[in-house]
Amino acid sequence: MVLTHGVGLGPLGLPEMVAEGQRVLKDYHVVDPADDVATVLGDAMAGRQGAIVLAPHVALRRDDPDAIVAAAPAGARYVLAVGTVSWGVGNLPMPRSNYFVGYIARARLIDVRTKAVVAEAGCMQAPDGSEFNGAYADLTANNGALIKTELAARADRCIHFLERDLLAL
């Protein structure tokens, strides 16, 4: 789910926020960072105990281990599935005009033989003071260049936590 800034309607503003998020994706060509996260984690795991990283954009439900295993190439021992849970543009309570980019991802290592999830980790990159805080117009200027930069930075930080928590690296 992609969310962006919305009107001050609380939950009633959710449809507008989702619609604006979809517009940002389309108009600014913002790419889901999950494939890049999976590639980095896959490279870190390369060859370890027969792990295989599924090709990007494999059409499957990322919550269904059976479907994930079914998409695995023959001979795979483990499958690494990485997905974006949510990312979006939010604003801080004070001042209300300061916006930030947040990112949430989930990664699972699935045993192909048993279809069991043998390791799972997630990351949530919420505001911590290191990110851009400014006006929404600044984030969307230049075809969303700052959104893309901030999203990449959040994804890079997620990689660190996923390597530590999922792969014990």
The pairing of beta strand 117-125 with beta strand 99-111 = antiparallel
In contact, 87 and 101? CB cutoff 8 Å: yes
Higher pLDDT, 158 or 4: 158
What interhelical angle do 14-28 and 136-166 show, nearest 10? 90
* pTM, entire model: 0.81
Sign of CA dihedral 162, 167, 70, 53: positive
pLDDT at 155 over 60: yes
Domain edges within the chain? 2-166
Candidates 124, 121, 91; CA nearest to 108 is 121
Choose between 52 and 21: higher pLDDT.
21
